[in-house]
Structure 1
């Protein structure tokens, strides 16, 4: 994803959704993109309401009118607060998952608010946000920090799979003026067995240095493939646990955005959020942009 021209932000009018709509508007204004706000009136919830209050035949109409007023008011606040942002609104009626996913097909980016301090810890498995993260075929920006215009420091973890270059391009596109750090985390294969086999400290350190140098070379090659945007990328290679190292690096550089792939390397993770991505989403204090497979 080299360009984000059409942004979709799903809102339920909560405080967390308000953070997401503000971030979406900030990104849209920065990129000269269009932003559409979407609110879905849940059809199952409406049926429940009618069943509970059978005498309120016009309840659905009133709820729809209220939602229309609220979404237009939100769009107005964004236009007033952020110069040059182009905002349209849309009301859906039906299953929230289906409506949001269908709308996302005509967008380049879906923006969601993170509920609570830990977006995935606080999600019940099978919740709307969890399912959207799994099923969306477009990048998903999970916004959790109070938006400061615009992104200043972005961290891009790379694992040298086919998705790494795309994540770097996406970071350069969504944060055109930010400092970009491309991070690779490595583990020395069989390091524990090397110690048990009596391999000397000097030899183990030599293996580490070789692995680090090879990884650094590959990160630089990825950056070079981005052309002019590659000149903004600072390579970083560390040894350790992937998730923990990503979170530590984000804190170290005071990142306001992490850009990473949705899936891990395992085929078993093909339908789920990869374990490293899940961990980062759970504990990151900044926004996280998840790229689809």
Structure 2
């Protein structure tokens, strides 16, 4: 992917979803990408209300669709939000999850943009209903999960890397979405079998040397990864830290004052679903920043 050409944002027309739409406007303005904003209505569900509203279900559907079209059009033409970008409004009938995936495929979208509704425990529940299921099913389209109002372009990116191919994609994607942002590359590591070494009586200073060696090797690999992803020394801040990856990402998000986390998703196998749940899903749920997910398809 040399440049972003097609962006697709999904909105339920609620106030919180406005953040995602507005972020899409900023990215489109910065990158020159075409911007599409869709709203899905499950009109077929109205048929279940026939006994209550009589035989005028077709008229009810028509009014609902027209109202949604009007609300979306008004939202997209507001000069206080649209950054001078003209967006293509899409009103579709169908379940949101399937509609988003189908339209992303049809548009060959380079980026999906979704909002997160609610806070705290509600956020965990609502993430499972749309964003997380899209992450588990989508293998072609990167997904940007927007949590914060977009008052400005992204300033500072935190990009966790594990040196797999998707790590390079994460770096390149981050630069496409936020070309002027500072970059922090983070690799969190743990010494294999460290607890077993302690149990076996291996001295702590020996284990400490293992940690130093692992850190040095990871730093070399990080610089090599940055190079093949098109970064030069000075373009990024390298961090190699000991500890649990998901906990380190959340800690460094605050420590480094980052406003976007860019990380990878590995395929769709059962094992990789567990990896998504243990790292990416934890970061999505616990971070304060927006999260951009690159895909290794």
The alignment's TM-score, normalised by the length of structure 2, stands at 0.90
* Aligned counterpart, 1:221: 224
Q: Aligned residue pairs: how many?
A: 291
Could you say if the C-alpha distance between residues 220 and 229 of structure 1 is closer, same or farther in structure 2, counting changes exceeding 3 Å? closer
1:9 aligns with 2:9: yes
In 1: Cα distance, 2:69 partner to 2:137 partner: 27
In 2: Cα distance, 1:227 partner to 1:272 partner: 27
* Aligned counterpart, 2:74: 73
Contact 1:263/1:277 (CA < 8 Å) preserved in 2?
Answer: no
After TM superposition, where is structure 1 displaced by more than 4 Å over at least 4 residues in a row? 228-231, 264-267
Structure 2: runs of 5 or more not aligned: none
Residue 146 of structure 1 deviates from its aligned partner by 1.2
Encode CA deviations 1:186-240: one digit per residue, 9 max, x unaligned: 0011212222333233222211110000001111101111225674221110011
Contact 1:5/1:108 (CA < 8 Å) preserved in 2?
Answer: yes
Residue 102 of structure 1 deviates from its aligned partner by 1.1
* Aligned counterpart, 1:90: 90
Contact 1:262/1:292 (CA < 8 Å) preserved in 2?
Answer: yes
> What are the equivalent positions in structure 2 for 1:259-270 lying under 5 Å apart?
259-263=262-266, 267-270=270-273
> What are the equivalent positions in structure 2 for 1:1-293 lying under 5 Å apart?
1-57=1-57, 58-77=59-78, 79-105=79-105, 106=107, 107-118=109-120, 121-123=124-126, 125=128, 127-136=129-138, 137-228=140-231, 231-263=234-266, 267-270=270-273, 273-293=276-296
Q: Secondary structure, in 3 states, of the residue corresponding to 1:14?
A: coil
Could you say if the C-alpha distance between residues 272 and 98 of structure 1 is closer, same or farther in structure 2, counting changes exceeding 3 Å? farther
Q: Secondary structure, in 3 states, of the residue corresponding to 1:216?
A: helix
Deviates more, 1:277-286 or 1:263-272: 263-272
Residue 55 of structure 1 deviates from its aligned partner by 4.6
Q: Secondary structure, in 3 states, of the residue corresponding to 2:16?
A: helix
Contact 1:262/1:277 (CA < 8 Å) preserved in 2?
Answer: yes
In 2: Cα distance, 1:235 partner to 1:246 partner: 13
In 2: Cα distance, 1:44 partner to 1:292 partner: 32
Encode CA deviations 1:135-182: one digit per residue, 9 max, x unaligned: 222001000011121000110111112211101111111111111111
Residue 2 of structure 1 deviates from its aligned partner by 4.2
Q: Secondary structure, in 3 states, of the residue corresponding to 1:81?
A: coil
Residue 27 of structure 1 deviates from its aligned partner by 1.1
Residue 48 of structure 1 deviates from its aligned partner by 2.9
Q: What is the Cα-based RMSD across aligned positions, in Å?
A: 2.2
Could you say if the C-alpha distance between residues 140 and 76 of structure 1 is closer, same or farther in structure 2, counting changes exceeding 3 Å? same
In 1: Cα distance, 2:98 partner to 2:274 partner: 17
Contact 1:6/1:108 (CA < 8 Å) preserved in 2?
Answer: yes
Q: Secondary structure, in 3 states, of the residue corresponding to 2:54?
A: coil
Encode CA deviations 1:51-71: one digit per residue, 9 max, x unaligned: 531253411111111011011
